[in-house]
Amino acid sequence: MSTPIRASSILPGHREDIELHTADGLRLVGELARPADREPAATLVCFHPLPTHGGMMDSHVLRKAAWRLPALADLAVLRFNTRGTSSLRGTSEGAFDGAVGERFDVAAAIEYAEFAELPKIWLLGWSFGTDLILKYGCDPAIEGAVLLSPPLRFSGPDDLATWAESGKPLTALVPEFDDYLRPAEARERFAAIPQAEVVGVDGAKHLWVGDAETALDEVVRRVNPAVPVPLPTTWDGPMEAGDVSAYADRTVASFADTPVPGPAQDRAG
């Protein structure tokens, strides 16, 4: 009997806690999720929203990616907390550094995926995470990147030029009602990258509340095009339920102008 896939649904997969080690000596906590009974076809390395305003490896779109995509799309999903960021998984060492020291976090995540021999590494960023990808993610080891709600706040023209020169595929999923960068302006800004694809998502907002499935469909369409989309909304087989209650406040209040309740973390910046 088919069971609806809900926000708390955890589909079968092999999940393990991991640690990343940065070149400047920090230990970052994370998780690697893989398909349960086969090798992954491709890999997502995920970069979360702004940690000073609720962003973390469990931000809802990234959490749903890790809980669903190994089973639905044959993807490995690596997510982690950048420096100074907390979630139920734990707190990464260091402190938020305004997209400066985080260059080492990006490198550590890509290196981990390489050393683990994960296939076809794609980067998936959301908000602040997109700036980290644009600034530091254009690495020879990666296939390309997908950006959710890119604000282009910390990244600049030189970063866009680096991606343009690389020729690597880059897709920006831009909500119609985004708080920072909407589709028309995004198309103008990303015109600096000839191969960039800007996809406006009708009705969506920066937080992707109610539109996570649309985002995941568009990610899968590019990272593993062999998988039909839209992805299934029901599942025939075993399913667990995760605890999403711990993050209710942080999900809806992320990106607000004031810090939000949640697990203790450094809120510098």
| 80-132 pLDDT tens trace | 999 999 999 999 999 999 999 999 999 999 999 999 999 999 999 999 999 99
At residue 248, the pLDDT reads 61
H helical segments located in 83-170: 102-115, 128-136, 157-166
pLDDT digits (tens, 9 = 90+) for 122-171: 999 999 999 999 999 999 999 999 999 999 999 999 999 999 999 999 99
The beta strand positions in 63-180, using DSSP E, are 75-80, 86-87, 90-91, 121-126, 142-148, 170-175
Mean pLDDT to the nearest integer, 240-268: 51
Over the chain, what is the mean pLDDT? 92
pLDDT at 264: 34
**Measuring CA to CA, which residue among 7, 46, 55 is closest to residue 253?**
55
More confident residue, 247 or 211: 211
Element (H, E) at 58: none
pLDDT, residue 247, reads 66
- CA-CA-CA-CA torsion sign (263, 103, 211, 238): negative
Mean of the pLDDT values across residues 217-229? 98
pLDDT level of residue 244 (50, 70, 90 thresholds):
confident
Give pLDDT, residue 249.
57
CA distance 219 to 217: 5
Q: Which residues contact 245 (CB under 8 A, 6 or more apart)?
A: none
Q: What is the pLDDT of residues 9-42, one digit of tens each?
A: 999 999 999 999 999 999 999 999 999 999 999 9
50: confidence class by pLDDT, cuts 50, 70, 90: very high
Q: What is the pLDDT of residue 243?
A: 81
User: Residue 245: its pLDDT value, please?
Assistant: 75
pLDDT confidence of residue 260? 35
CB 44 within 8 A of CB 72: no
Average pLDDT (219-223) is 98
Closest CA to 231 of 72, 60, 120, 112: 72
Q: Which domains does the chain have, with CATH numbers?
A: 3-222 (3.40.50.1820)
C-alpha closest to that of 232 among 35, 38, 5, 1? 5
Is the predicted pLDDT of residue 250 greater than 70, yes or no?
Answer: no
